[in-house]
Structure 1
Amino acid sequence: MDYRPLGRTGIRVSPLCLGAMMFGGKTSPADSAAIIDRALDAGINFIDTANVYNQGRSEEAVGEALQRNGRRSQVILATKVHGRMGEDPNAMGNTRRHIIEQCEASLRRLKTDWIDLYQVHRPQPDVPIDETLRALDDLVRSGKVRYIGSSTFAAWQLVESLWVAKEYRLERFVCEQPPYNLLDRRIERELLPMAQAYGFGIIPWSPLAGGLLTGKYRRDAPPPEDSRYANLDANPLYRRRMNDAVWDVIEPLETLAREKGTTLSRLALAWCMHQPGVTSPIIGPRTMEQLEDNLGALEVTITDEDRKAIDRIIPPGTHVAPYYEADWRAGAFRW
């Protein structure tokens, strides 16, 4: 396994990160534990979850699995804070109150004394970044958190956070978790160059474009009934993502994958994994079969010729489906 440094830190993580969004929800706790065991046996040492995933049940499933297998100390365990966790108007966001409260709750659910990487799930411009960083800094100083990171922040917001951290002598973000896949390459314009310049690790979410890059969807066929794209009328964002232009990317990518003797999903993951500046794409398997397919990406080599062919299909910095999409007035990225 090719372990990589997480940004400017001294810790090393596997080139794939096991995402736990399905755990405790569509994936039962027992199946979640089996997937975690298999991932750890394969060499993955990086697990990412969030307090809002299935309203805490994902963290509970991860915590129970690591307690049962006794391998907590082998894992770089990451979780996130920001989303709503109750009806109270203060039960969400990047305030000091919410961050401290939710860190304690996550520690209980994860059955651990410390969180290796605690990430702010979304930006919130109406909360000063110094308030957010001060709360996170206190958690690091208390030993409850080892490192801090962000998710779906813009490049300018991360540079601002570095200035504030330096000005007030606070812990700085060590990594960013943005959406990045072969249908949306826009982070290559500013975010990736910024991350390389300032030493941020990059942990892409949705490297398989929410399933569009798995090969199970077809241009002229209805989506599978159990898929997230089954009811496009109920989700306008999914409807915008599954547009005519995506097939002009997916179909030639499938041809390239066949020529390499692999699957579309493995090609897409391997490409993301080996892009300059990327640390560890997050896979989100719902089943053991999906995990096994994802692990196969570790055996796929991306050549210079492959990169040129892919760049002809979907040019650098462009997109055909919206993943990296921001509403700055609302202060949050849309899912």
Structure 2
Amino acid sequence: MLYRTLGGTGIEVSAYCLGTMMFGSVGNPDHAESVRVIHAALDAGINFVDTADMYSAGESETIVGKALKGRRDDVVLATKVHFPMGEGPNRGGNSRRWIVKEVEESLRRLGTDWIDLYQVHRPDHTTDIEETLSALTDLVRAGKVRAFGCSTFPAEEIVESHVVAERRGLGRFRTEQPPYSILARGIERAVLPTCRRYGMGVLTWSPLASGFLTGKYRKGGAIDLTSGR
């Protein structure tokens, strides 16, 4: 297995990362089967697992936590925060209020004391980036998070985050997770050069274009619009 350093953090991760968006009620409700998939990936040398609080409303994190019992020290665990979790106007976003609350819920579901990579799932234009970075920096200082990153941020907002981090003495985004495949190469224009400029690691989502590149869809065949993976 090929391993690479994650965005200047010193953390070594496998070139392949196991995504778990479809673990749980949205994709595969069979927890035992999902656990077997995770174990097979770990046995093959993959040490990087990515999930999010909103995947199947927390169920994916719970499954990942079950699978990593007894193997947590060998795994680089990534999850995310941003999308709404339940009812209420403050149960989502990138505010300090939500981040410090939701990280505790993710830790509980994952059955762990720390998260290796905590990612902001999307930009939040109602919250100052300084507030978001300050909250994430405090989580690192508290030992609950090892490093933090962003996902699907445009280049200009990545630049802004680094300028603010340097000006205010805060931690900075170490990774960006954009959509990227041979069919969707828009990030090559600005996002990838920006990540290179700041030494950020790049994790990609939907590298197989939601299954299109696997041969899943056939000419003239029916398309299930609810099945994106």
CA contact (8 A) 1:82 1:93 kept: yes
Paired residue secondary structure (1:103): helix
Q: TM-score, normalised by structure 1?
A: 0.66
1:211–1:142 CA distance, 2 compared to 1 (3 A)? same
Within 5 A, what are the aligned runs for 1:168-207?
168-207=168-207
**Residue matched to 1:111:** 111
1:29-178 map, 5 Å: 29-67=31-69, 70-178=70-178
Q: Where does structure 2 lack aligned partners over 5 or more consecutive residues?
A: none
TM-score (norm 2): 0.96
Deviations 1:215-260, CA, capped at 9 Å, x for gaps: 021222222x59626xxxxxxxxxxxxxxxxxxxxxxxxxxxxxxx
For the aligned residue pairs, the C-alpha RMSD in angstroms reads 1.3
User: Closer, same or farther in 2 for the Cα pair 1:38/1:226, shift >3 Å?
Assistant: farther
More relative contact order in 1 or in 2 (CA 8 Å, sep 6+)? 1
* CA deviation after TM superposition for structure 1 residue 203, in Å: 0.2
Gaps of 5+ in 1: 230-283, 285-335
Q: Distance in 1 between matches of 2:90 and 2:226?
A: 33
Conservation of the 8 A alpha-carbon contact between 1:24 and 1:60: no
Partner amino acid, structure 2, of 1:228: S
Matched letter for residue 209 of structure 1: A
Partner residue in 1 for 2:23: 23
How many residue pairs end up in the alignment? 227
**Percent sequence identity over matched residues?**
58
More helix by percentage: 1
Alpha-carbon spacing, 1:227–1:93, altered in 2? closer, same or farther (3 Å): closer
Q: Is the 8 A contact 1:20 1:48 kept in 2?
A: yes
Q: CA deviation at 1:143?
A: 0.3
Contact 1:136 1:171 in 2 (8 A): yes
Task: Map 1:307-318 onto structure 2 (within 5 A).
Answer: none
Shift of 1:65: 1.1
Q: Which has the larger radius of gyration?
A: 1
Q: Secondary structure at the match of 1:210?
A: coil
Q: Which residue of 2 aligns with 1:264?
A: none
Name segments (4+ residues, structure 1) moved above 3 Å. Answer: none
Partner of 2:227: 228
Aligned position for 1:316: none
